[in-house]
């Protein structure tokens, strides 16, 4: 691997950017394929770039045949991340559960009495408003966002920002009635029906959850389900229209 390639991969990891290193096995020619561009000796090969982006979406490295060439696609994607808005009791159960499943967990809440390292050991805690925190840490397609505060002042800005990003999951705690009122508020803020439909609300799988820990299980189960379906869809072969 060339030194400049290694440096680019390290930069992508630091910035949580997905990238695929495509290497032609016959001569080790290299190309870096990002979601929005490709750089390197094979960057002009549209079929290669398309195959690399498909592998990126699936999150799986593989060797593919492009014409008469064998290309190894080495996929580097940021680890799955869960951002929890609201340092509440459900979050205290959800954060460690998600960590056990190798999610990179961040808890965000401007209320300093709630958002403490003592209450959330082993995860990143940010004592900030969610929309401001999102600007600092960035949102990407490997991120899930869940709002748990029941307070529109805290939840709504987070949901607005998440809906304008490509996060793979958005969930919001609250009853059907609460969710309907939420829709009205976000519509006034310019969120369309199509955008709002991305929110899972009431959040979580319908398993009859009652306690904070049970609700956390239902939320995490739904996140896993959504991610799995997304990966299945990306992995499915594309059928050309007749």
Residue pLDDT, tens place only, 120-132: 999 999 999 999 9
The whole-number pLDDT of residue 146 equals 99
As a whole number of angstroms, the distance between CA 86 and CA 140 comes to 20
Beta carbons within 10 angstroms of residue 216's beta carbon: 25
Cβ 102 vs Cβ 79: under 8 Å = yes
- Band (pLDDT 50/70/90 cuts) for residue 241 is very low
* Contact between 198 and 170 (Cβ < 8 Å): yes
Q: Report the side by side order of strands in the sheet with 169-172.
A: 124-126, 104-108, 81-85, 143-147, 169-172, 199-200
CATH code of domain 81-231: 3.40.50.720
Q: What's the mean pLDDT when you consider all of the chain?
A: 93
3-class secondary structure per residue, 13-43: HHCCCCEEEEEECCCCCEEEECCCCEEECCC
pLDDT at 161 over 70: yes
Burial classification of residue 236, based on how many CB atoms lie within 10 Å of its CB (0-12 exposed, 13-18 middle, 19 or more buried) = exposed
Domain locations along the chain: 3-76, 81-231
Q: What is the pLDDT of residue 235?
A: 65
Predicted model pTM = 0.81
pLDDT band at 169 (very low <50, low <70, confident <90, very high): very high
Unique residue bearing structure tokens 């929005």 = 36
In the prediction, which pLDDT does 16 show? 83
The stretch 186-209 carries a mean pLDDT of: 96
Whether residue 60 is predicted with pLDDT greater than 90 in this model: the reply is no
Distance between CA atoms of 147 and 157, rounded to whole angstroms?
10
Task: Please give the DSSP secondary-structure letter assigned to residue 241.
Answer: P
């Amino acid at each position: 691997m060339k030194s400049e390639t290694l440096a680019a991969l390290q930069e992508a990891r630091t910035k949580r950017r997905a990238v695929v290193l495509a290497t032609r096995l016959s001569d080790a020619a290299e190309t870096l394929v990002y979601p929005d561009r490709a750089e390197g000796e094979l960057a002009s090969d549209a079929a290669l770039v398309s195959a690399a982006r498909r592998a990126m979406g699936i999150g799986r490295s593989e060797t593919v045949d492009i014409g008469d060439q064998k290309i190894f696609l080495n996929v580097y994607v940021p680890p799955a991340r869960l951002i929890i808005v609201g340092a509440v009791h459900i979050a205290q159960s959800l954060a460690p559960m998600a960590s056990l499943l190798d999610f990179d967990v961040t808890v965000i809440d401007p209320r300093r009495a709630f958002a403490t390292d003592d209450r959330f050991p082993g995860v990143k805690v940010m004592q900030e408003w969610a929309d401001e925190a999102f600007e600092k840490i960035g949102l990407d397609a490997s991120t899930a966002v869940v709002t748990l505060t029941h307070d529109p002042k805290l939840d709504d800005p987070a949901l607005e920002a998440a809906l304008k990003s490509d996060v793979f999951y958005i969930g919001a705690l609250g009853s059907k009635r609460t969710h309907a009122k939420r829709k009205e508020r976000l519509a006034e803020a310019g969120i369309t029906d199509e955008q709002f439909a991305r929110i899972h609300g009431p959040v979580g799988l319908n398993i009859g959850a009652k306690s904070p820990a049970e609700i956390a299980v239902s939320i995490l189960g739904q996140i896993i389900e959504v991610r799995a379906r997304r990966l299945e869809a990306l992995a499915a072969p594309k059928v050309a229209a007749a």
